[in-house]
Homo-oligomer: A and B are copies of this chain.
Amino acid sequence: MSKPVVEFWFEFASTYSYLSAMRLPRMAEASGVTVHWRPFLLGPIFAAQGMSDSPFKIFPTKGAYMWRDIERLAARQGVPFRRLERFPQNGLHAARIAQIALHRSEGIAFCHNVYLAEFADGKDISDPETLADCAARAGLPTDILSNAKTPENKLALRHATEAAAERGVFGAPSFLVGDELFWGDDRLQDALDWAIRHG
């Protein structure tokens, strides 16, 4: 019998994706579920729904709530967190690096480093120096940053985002078990459970 699989679709600008990314490895291990990390971009996903910005900016009351909700959840989950003055950040370059880095065992550490730089340390994750530091601390080879900029890799990330949209993804984080979609950090355990029962 093959191991159950969950696809984890995440965006580096997304606060709720951060919470899922940080605890997903240990939860997946505890559940015996294999996770495929799938970086994508929310910008085109929101644009297709008629939104030119994050819903947390378009709907400020909801945005104000989101910061407080994340603050409470992060405290409970033992994850460092600070409210960002500039939000959402531009996660394009980080996502392109993740797109190739996740073919290697150091990929998840890179993703964690980016999320921590952003939401724990308040750094600018579109800054090449920040990203180089995140890659180095994950033990990735130094040429990963230039390799992330190849036309092939840029296209791979674009196709990933298109695939997400085609499969019904409208926000992040999203979890897919086959065609079964789970949206939001609060559906993480549900997605793992579904993979075990139906995967």
Interface residues, chain A, with chain B CB atoms under 8 Å away: 49-50, 58-59, 61-62, 64-65, 68-69, 72, 168, 170-171, 181-184, 186-187, 190
Cβ–Cβ < 8 Å partners of A183 in chain B: 65, 69
Distance to closest chain B CB from A191 (angstroms): 11
Cβ–Cβ < 8 Å partners of A168 in chain B: 61, 64-65
Interface pair B170/A62, CB less than 8 Å apart:
yes
Distance to closest chain B CB from A132 (angstroms): 36
**Copies of this protein in the complex:** 2
Nearest-CB residue, chain B, relative to A76: B190
Known: A50-B59, A69-B182, A72-B190. 4 other contacts (CB 8 A): A50-B58, A61-B170, A65-B170, A65-B181
Nearest-CB residue, chain B, relative to A63: B170
Task: State the CA gap A68–B180 with chains docked (Å).
Answer: 9
Interface pair A170/B59, CB less than 8 Å apart:
yes
Cβ–Cβ < 8 Å partners of A186 in chain B: 184, 186
Nearest-CB residue, chain B, relative to A64: B168
